[in-house]
Amino acid sequence: MSKFEKKEIIGISALLIHAAKIDEIYSEKEKKIIFNFIKNNIEEVSDSEKILSEAENLESNSNQLLNYTKIIKDSSLETKSKIIEELWKILISDNTVDIYESNLMRRICGLIYFSDKESGEIKMRLIKTK
Note the pTM of the prediction, 2 decimals. 0.92
Residues contacting residue 110 through CB under 8 Å, at least 6 positions apart: none
Helix (H), strand (E) at residue 84: helix 77-92
Average pLDDT over residues 79-103: 95
- The reported pLDDT for the residue numbered 105 is 96
Band (pLDDT 50/70/90 cuts) for residue 2 is low
Mean pLDDT of the chain: 92
CATH of range 6-129; options 3.40.50.720, 1.10.3720.10, 1.10.3680.10, 3.40.50.2300: 1.10.3680.10
Q: What is the CA 121 to chain-centroid distance, rounded?
A: 17
Helices (H) and strands (E) in the chain, counts: 7, 0
- The reported pLDDT for the residue numbered 66 is 80
Checking if the pLDDT of 125 tops 90, the result is: yes
- Amino acid at residue number 69: T
Whether 33 contacts 26, CB under 8 Å: no
